[in-house]
Amino acid sequence: MLLEVPEGSHKVELIFEDTRIRHYGKIISVISLIIIFLIIFLLYLYKNIVSPNKSSNQY
């Protein structure tokens, strides 16, 4: 980053802020993580509650 400043005494303040697209990207990432964890949790529940111990039904 280059900044041209004329001679003399100056105070330069640079602020790094999120852009609108960066903000929306963070929101999409958090929602995606929540969905992934929800899918994993539901698969765990399905495996352990809906079809527990299929091998124990043998004679």
* pLDDT score of 36: 98
| Cα Rg of the chain, angstroms | 27
Asked whether residue 3 is assigned to any structural domain, the reply reads no
* pLDDT score of 53: 66
Residue type, 5: V
Asked whether residue 42 is assigned to any structural domain, the reply reads yes
CA-to-CA distance for 45 and 13, rounded, in angstroms?
53
pTM of the model: 0.59
Q: Which domain holds residue 31?
A: 25-50
Asked whether residue 45 is assigned to any structural domain, the reply reads yes
Asked whether residue 6 is assigned to any structural domain, the reply reads no
Average pLDDT over residues 15-36: 96
Q: How many domains does the chain have?
A: 1
Asked whether residue 17 is assigned to any structural domain, the reply reads no
Asked whether residue 56 is assigned to any structural domain, the reply reads no
